[in-house]
Amino acid sequence: MSKAPAQGGRPKTRYRTRSWREYDKGLISCGNLTVWVSPELAWHAAKGTGRRGRPPVFTDAAIQTVLTLKILHHLPLRVAQGMAGSLIRIAGLSWRVPHYSTLSRRQKDLVVTIPSRPRGGPLHLVIDSTGLKVLGEGEWKVRKHGADKRRVWRKVHLVIDADSHEVRAVEMTDHWHGDGEIVPGLLGQMPKAGRIDTISGDGAYDTRGVYEASASRKAAMIVPPRRNGKPWKVMTTGAEARNVSLRAIKRLGRRLWKTWSGYRRRSLAGTAMSRLKRLGERLAARDPARQVAEVQIRCAILNTFNALGMPDTDARA
């Protein structure tokens, strides 16, 4: 297969999926409700926790399962309770169904489990951020008549495994926080025993704090310095690596440096953001703590879909 000429004379790379049959089965499995409910799931909480007060009836896994159905199918809490109850009856299980008020209360302090497949080799991570709307008019109304009400957004920061496309860390802030200052907290969510080879990000991560955080994990930072970036004179941790990238860009050019350094792999973060927004560009929760749980459950959904099947593609010249 050859490259078709594009505008400006640059050829356009074509990609071919080599595992289409397995990937097609994985896409079909994404609609299987039994993926989320299994008889082996720990549904009811253990009695006698030793804590004061009434012990919880349901485990965090049970609450996360029902909230997953809610977020996946864009359901109100009451409808999610009804769907979970019908699914439990179809499965022939004698489990109790969490009340919608219990779901709302537990979501605020829910410890969400984001599944990920174990990796034997070092990780190649890409990092980026995007916005999810909380309040405001729809995009069509704003385009036609302009915005006349308060619009509120939340900023979601993701760390993506470039090889498996899985979400490895997630953080949510308001729009006042910069991308670079969130990186130490994101890397803190990664297991200390796991080896990180490279971390890729755009120019917003060209800060000393980001380079120091990556150097603490012995990872190479692949970040294009800003257009007006100057060499750092104070040789702090990671400053030499940043100055090397700056000299390489001046010598090779920014476009060639992106190919040579592997920076173009960072586009996978944009793909993950697009998949995240397919679950909804608006957050249903209004409380910040519940919004965090909602975003984490979305990430758990994406990782579960990845485990069901991912395309194996290659570029054809």
pLDDT: which is higher, 1 or 250: 250
Q: pLDDT: is 273 or 150 the higher one?
A: 273
Of 4-13, 60-69, 264-273, least confident by mean pLDDT is 4-13
pLDDT, average across residues 235-244: 79
Q: CATH assignment of 123-284, given 3.30.420, 3.40.630, 1.10.3470, 2.60.40? A: 3.30.420
User: Looking at residue 208, what is its pLDDT?
Assistant: 87
Higher model confidence: residue 2 or residue 20?
A: 20
If we measure between CA atoms, which residue out of 101, 106, 113, 99 comes closest to residue 61?
A: 113
Quote the pLDDT of residue 258: 87
pLDDT of residue 175: 78
Question: Per mean pLDDT, which of 1-5, 32-36, 60-64 is the most reliable?
Answer: 60-64
Mean pLDDT of the chain: 86
Band of residue 138 on the pLDDT scale cut at 50, 70, 90 = low
User: Which pLDDT band, with edges at 50, 70 and 90, does 192 fall under?
Assistant: confident
Overall average pLDDT of the 281-288 stretch: 89
The confidence band for 1, taking pLDDT boundaries of 50, 70 and 90, is very low
Phi, psi angle pair for 14, to nearest 5°? -105, 145
Please report the beta strands in the chain, taking only residues with DSSP state E, as ranges in sequence order: 4-5, 11-12, 14-17, 123-135, 152-161, 167-173, 196-200, 220-222, 313-316
What count of residues does the chain have? 317
Domain map of the chain by residue range?
31-107, 123-284
Please classify residue 248 by burial: count the beta carbons closer than 10 Å to its beta carbon, then call 0-12 exposed, 13-18 middle and 19+ buried.
Answer: middle
Q: Does the pLDDT value for residue 226 go beyond 90?
A: no
Instruction: Please give the pLDDT value at position 124.
Output: 92
Report CA torsion sign: 83, 89, 91, 95: positive
Residue 14 has pLDDT above 90, yes or no: no
Q: Considering Cα of 285, then 289, then 292, then 298, what sign does the dihedral take?
A: negative
pLDDT at 8 over 50: yes
